[in-house]
Structure formats: C-alpha cells, structure tokens
C-alpha cells in the first residue's frame, strides 16, 4: 500500500515529469544563480546607500519609495534569471 506522499509524487511526475539536467546545464544554471546573486547584491548596496542618505536627511517618504524599489528590483531580477534558467532547462529537452 502506497502512502499519500508516494501517490502525490506519482501524480506530480505525470503532470510535470522530472527533468534530467546535463553537467553543462547544471554549470550554466549555477552560473546564472551566481550572476543573479551578484546583481541583487549590487542593487542592494546602491539603494541601501540611498536609503541611508534619505534617513539622514529625514526624508522618510523617499525612504519608503526606495525600499519599495528595492523589493521591486529583487523580484524583477529573480524573474529574469528564472526565465533564463528555464531556457537552459528547455535547451536540454
């Protein structure tokens, strides 16, 4: 008798089978992850410096705006890199 977990995994594999990646694809995806982390860190450094300056000026509306921009930039960068990673995965199929 199969557990609920095993049954769920079987259903999942039927709808979205596991993709086997080549060594080259794994390397490309790892490189993309590294690039993504670097881009996000770069944006954080830039915007956190701007946030710090705005706090020193007492411009809290600007602080809020910059924090929202940082969140938006993170989401945008991650989405872009996820799209690139998916292309790498699809290239091997």
The model carries a pTM of: 0.69
pLDDT tens series, the chain, 93 aa: 788 888 888 887 777 666 688 899 999 999 999 999 999 999 999 999 999 999 999 999 999 999 999 999 999 999 999 999 989 888 865
Q: In this structure, what token pair is assigned to residue 44? A: 């954080």
State the pLDDT at residue 92: 65
Mutual orientation of helices 23-57 and 60-91 as an angle, nearest 10°? 170
């Amino acid at each position: 008798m199969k557990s609920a977990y095993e049954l769920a995994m079987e259903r999942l594999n039927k709808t979205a089978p596991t993709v086997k990646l080549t060594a080259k694809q794994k390397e490309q995806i790892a490189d993309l992850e590294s690039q993504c982390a670097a881009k996000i860190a770069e944006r954080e450094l830039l915007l956190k410096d701007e946030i710090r300056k705005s706090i020193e000026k007492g411009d809290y509306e600007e602080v809020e705006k910059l924090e929202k921009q940082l969140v938006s930039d993170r989401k945008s960068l991650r989405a872009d890199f996820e799209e690139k990673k998916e292309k790498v995965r699809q290239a091997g199929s």
